[in-house]
Every structure is written in structure tokens, then in C-alpha cells.
Structure 1
Amino acid sequence: MAQMKLEIGGRSFMVTCQDGEESHLTRLAAMVDGKARESGDPAGLNESRMLLFTSLLLADELHSAQAALAEKPAAADTVSPGPMGEQAIASLEKLADRAEQLANSLE
């Protein structure tokens, strides 16, 4: 298991991941960091609130992407988003769940 330090919303988090997953986790952390910065002034929010708002922004983005896929014409139903798209959706769902769990544990 690899241990990494992630910077999200101006705060540091130590996390572990499977060996070889470091670059993937770094990309996911960059996405979360971007959303954390969208949620407002990180200095004005405690950790749990920042993670809550961040997870809500990510969940909203995921919901919008799923709704957009559902609105495509029936002919597009035969085209799948591909393994990378499915992996991104699954990663966002897991990340939103994990951020919500973290926010709940910090409250």
C-alpha cells in the first residue's frame, strides 16, 4: 500500500492507496481540489463543511452528466460511454461517497 499526501482546499490529507494507483488518485484529488475551491473561501469553512459542499458539487456534476446521457436519442443508446467514461463515473461516485463519509465523521 502506498501512502500519499493530498492537498484539497488548502488542507493536507494523508491517504493510502494500492501500489500503482498514485497517479490516478492524484488526478482525482485535483478534481476534488477544484470543486473545493468552487465551494467558497476555504478559510471560512471548517473541514467537514468544505468536504460536504465539495461532495455536493461533485454529486451535482455527476447528476447532470447522468441526466445528459439519459436525454440522448434512442439511437445513441447503442453507444456506450466506453471503459474510460464508465470508470470516470464510477470514480466520481466513489469519491462523492467517500467525501460524504469524511464529512460525516468530522462533524
Structure 2
Amino acid sequence: MPQIVVTIDEKTYRMACAEGEEKHLETLAADVDGKISELRGSFGQIGDLRLTVMAAIMATDQLYEARRKLQELQAQIDADAETRTASEAGSETRRREFAESLDETAAALERITAKLTAGA
């Protein structure tokens, strides 16, 4: 199992990860480091643990917001699919009605043709 070293808040950590996930873990660690640096810039020296907790809450909030947006998008996709299905069903009904109308018209024309031919 690969191991990498990441730096968060000027402290280094050795971490294990799955094969091929090294770059991803480094990116995540850099994001956490960035959040902690941002918080330290806003609040000053308020303690490592408090900064870490605040960074975790910020990350969790972003995750929550992303999940909420994903649910909204999924609901919209589902609604669009239902609308499309209803529209397709309506189109099929209209096609069937049109075909029946054409059949009736063709039958009427055949009756008229038969009468005209019989009278001639």
C-alpha cells in the first residue's frame, strides 16, 4: 500500500492510500491546508484543534450543499423524465387517433367510389 507525506498547517503527516490515489490524497490534504490557512488568516491564533474543527465544519458544509444541489438536480431529471414520458404517451395517442381517422376517411372514400362505380 503506497504511503505519502502531506503537510497540513505546517505539520507533516505520513498517510497510506490505495494504489493510484496518491495525487487525489495530496489534493485533499492541500485543500484542508488551504482552509486552515484561510481560517488562521481570519481568526488569528485560536488553537490548532479549533482551527481543524472549523475547517472540518466548512468542508462538511460544502459537502452538504453539494448533496443538496445533487438532490435538486436529480429531482429535476426525474420530473423531466416524467414529462417526457407523458408527452410521448400523448403523442402516441394522437398518432393512433390520426391513423384511425385516416382509416375512417379511406373507408368513406371506398364507399363513395363503390357507389360512383355502381351508378356508372
Tell me which interval the TM-score lies in, with the shorter structure as reference length: 0.5 to 0.7
Distance of aligned partners of 1:32 and 1:22 in 2 relative to their CA distance in 1, 3 Å threshold: same
Q: How many residues align?
A: 79
- TM-score, normalised via structure 1 length: 0.57
Q: Within 2, Cα distance between the matches of 1:45 and 1:3?
A: 31
Structure 1 stretches of 5 or more lacking a match? 79-107
Greater per-residue helix proportion: 2
- TM-score, normalised via structure 2 length: 0.52
Q: Name 1:13's counterpart in structure 2.
A: 13
Q: Name 2:99's counterpart in structure 1.
A: none
1:39 partner letter: L
Q: Name 2:27's counterpart in structure 1.
A: 27
Moved over 6 A (4+): none
Q: Within 1, Cα distance between the matches of 2:12 and 2:78?
A: 42
Q: 1:40-62 CA distances to partner (integer Å, 9 max, x unpaired)?
A: 24971433222211111100111
Question: Does the alignment pair 1:44 with 2:45?
Answer: yes
SS at match of 1:44: coil
Identity rate, percent: 32
Greater Cα offset, 18-27 or 64-73: 64-73
Q: Name 1:89's counterpart in structure 2.
A: none
SS at match of 1:63: helix
Question: Does the alignment pair 1:74 with 2:82?
Answer: no
Structure 2 stretches of 5 or more lacking a match? 80-120
1:70 partner letter: Q
Q: 1:43-83 CA distances to partner (integer Å, 9 max, x unpaired)?
A: 714332222111111001111112222334733248xxxxx
Q: Name 1:57's counterpart in structure 2.
A: 58
Q: Within 2, Cα distance between the matches of 1:14 and 1:47?
A: 18
Q: Within 1, Cα distance between the matches of 2:70 and 2:78?
A: 9
